């Protein structure tokens, strides 16, 4: 049996957004957040780890390129896992002293701003936890890598509790329902061409925390109420309620980013066009059939139930003509449906390639160990691609 551990871990897209930290070093958020974990068969991070006595140094390769292991976030994650292993006495003192090799890659474009760091750190921490045989919940360790990574440690729908302890021990993720609870929940990620320079999430959150008056109100009043309401909607599989809260919370997150000084703007004219299109679609449908949510970038994530997918795909193809029809829709396969004249008329086709491509996916499971031997490290503990 190989001493290499390989894990795949999912992306998650929040429906109640995380924005603003109460502690930057420990990555402790101002408010709770809620997300759906997306199917690893469509988008995932994959990480192999290995610890051997003959390794000379800790080493990491990301997407085929050797990177520095000095990053504080990386050091924090490895250090905390080792502390946990020592406390749990899960491995020998000798094993703890060994250097580790880490090789990680995403099966989707990292440049597209699709929560790659959440998947990446959830994957790394889960792989290390297996390597060091840590049994306890590691979401608080994934959080040290990238805040929202703590949510990718579980499948289904997940809540990240902000916690109140200054040391962050209670800032952990818990699963609301697993991926079998609402299997009809699908997602369409509309990747919008983006040439704008953006403020990083870390900087954007810092500015918002320091300057936005509205963020304080959001954190104190809006998020606590919405969190309880959306959890109830998820448990009851109440799509219209789930969708309404999701859309309102996305808008409010971007509102507080705009209320920052200087303002942070992540959505573009195309993003707002999509928002408008979804509201028109829902109005024409007579009920709320699709929800949009936007992270700190222009891409839209649409949540919708499986039955609605063919119609929405047809609408997207109608409104957003593409120069690459063969690769425009990726991920899960889905049919198309002839649009009613009412739906056809909600928007004229726009100029070509406003949307680069669409990823069709669904809610899925948490990190999983890969046991088929398809490791990213070879027998020498080095990247197979090197």
Applying CB under 8 A, which residues contact a copy of itself? Answer: 196, 213-214, 216-218, 221-222, 244, 247-248, 251-252, 254-256, 258-263, 265, 268-269, 272, 275-276, 279
CB of 34 to a copy of itself, least distance (A): 17
CB of 270 to a copy of itself, least distance (A): 9
CA distance 328 to 261: 38
CB of 272 to a copy of itself, least distance (A): 5
Length of the chain: 386
CB of 257 to a copy of itself, least distance (A): 8
Phi and psi dihedrals of 56, rounded to 5? -85, -30
Q: Which is nearer to a copy of itself, 173 or 243 (CB)?
A: 243
Phi and psi dihedrals of 162, rounded to 5? -60, -40
DSSP 8-state symbol, 155: S
CB of 346 to a copy of itself, least distance (A): 13
- 3-state helix, strand and coil shares in percent for the chain, rounded to the nearest 5: 40, 25, 40
Tokens coding 18: 């995380």
CB of 273 to a copy of itself, least distance (A): 9
Q: Which is nearer to a copy of itself, 215 or 234 (CB)?
A: 215
Q: Which is nearer to a copy of itself, 272 or 306 (CB)?
A: 272
Q: Which is nearer to a copy of itself, 258 or 305 (CB)?
A: 258
331-368 exposure pattern, b = at least 16 Cβ within 10 A, e = fewer: bbebebbebeeebeebbeeeeeebbbbbbbbbbbbbbb
Going by C-alpha positions, the residue among 158, 165, 174, 191 that lies closest to residue 43 is 191
Q: Which is nearer to a copy of itself, 98 or 280 (CB)?
A: 280
Residues 6+ apart with CB under 8 A from 279: none
Q: Which is nearer to a copy of itself, 77 or 278 (CB)?
A: 278
CB of 244 to a copy of itself, least distance (A): 8
3 state SS for 195-263: CCCCCCHHHHHHHHHHHCHHHHHHHHHHHHHHHHHHHHHHHCCCHHHHHHHHHHHHHHHHHHHHCCCCC
Q: Which is nearer to a copy of itself, 214 or 382 (CB)?
A: 214
Bond before 18 cis per omega within 30 degrees: no
């Amino acid at each position: 049996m190989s001493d290499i551990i390989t894990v795949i871990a999912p992306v998650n897209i929040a429906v109640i957004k995380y924005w603003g930290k109460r502690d930057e070093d420990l990555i402790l958020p101002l408010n709770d957040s809620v997300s759906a974990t997306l199917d690893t068969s469509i988008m995932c991070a994959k990480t192999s780890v290995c610890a051997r006595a003959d390794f000379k140094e800790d080493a990491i390769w990301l997407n085929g390129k050797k990177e520095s292991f000095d990053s504080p976030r990386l050091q924090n994650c490895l250090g905390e896992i080792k502390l946990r292993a020592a406390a749990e006495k899960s491995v020998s003192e000798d094993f703890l002293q060994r250097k580790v090799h880490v090789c990680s890659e995403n099966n989707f474009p990292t440049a597209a701003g699709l929560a790659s760091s959440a998947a990446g750190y959830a994957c790394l921490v889960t792989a290390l936890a297996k390597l060091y045989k840590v049994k306890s919940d590691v979401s608080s360790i994934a959080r040290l890598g990238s805040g929202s990574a703590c949510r990718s440690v579980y499948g289904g729908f997940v809540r990240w509790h902000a916690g109140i302890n200054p040391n962050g021990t209670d800032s952990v993720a818990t699963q609301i329902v697993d991926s079998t609870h609402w299997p009809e929940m699908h997602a369409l990620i509309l990747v919008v061409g983006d040439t704008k320079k953006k403020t990083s999430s870390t900087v954007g959150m810092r500015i918002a925390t320091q300057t936005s008056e509205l963020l304080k109100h959001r954190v104190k009043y809006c998020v606590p109420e919405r969190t309880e309401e959306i959890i109830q909607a998820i448990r009851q599989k109440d799509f219209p309620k789930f969708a309404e809260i999701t859309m309102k919370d996305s808008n409010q997150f971007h509102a507080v980013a705009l209320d920052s000084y200087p303002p942070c703007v992540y959505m573009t004219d195309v993003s707002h066009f999509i928002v408008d299109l979804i509201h028109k679609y829902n109005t024409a449908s007579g009920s709320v059939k699709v929800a949009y949510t936007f992270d700190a970038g222009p891409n839209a994530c649409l949540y919708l139930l499986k039955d609605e997918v063919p119609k929405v795909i047809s609408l997207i193809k109608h409104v957003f003509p593409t120069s690459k029809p063969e690769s425009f829709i990726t991920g899960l396969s889905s049919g198309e449906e002839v649009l009613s004249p009412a739906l056809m008329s909600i928007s004229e086709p726009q100029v070509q390639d406003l949307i680069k491509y669409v990823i069709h996916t669904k809610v899925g499971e948490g990190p999983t160990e890969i046991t088929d031997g398809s490791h990213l490290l070879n027998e020498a503990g080095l990247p197979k691609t090197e």
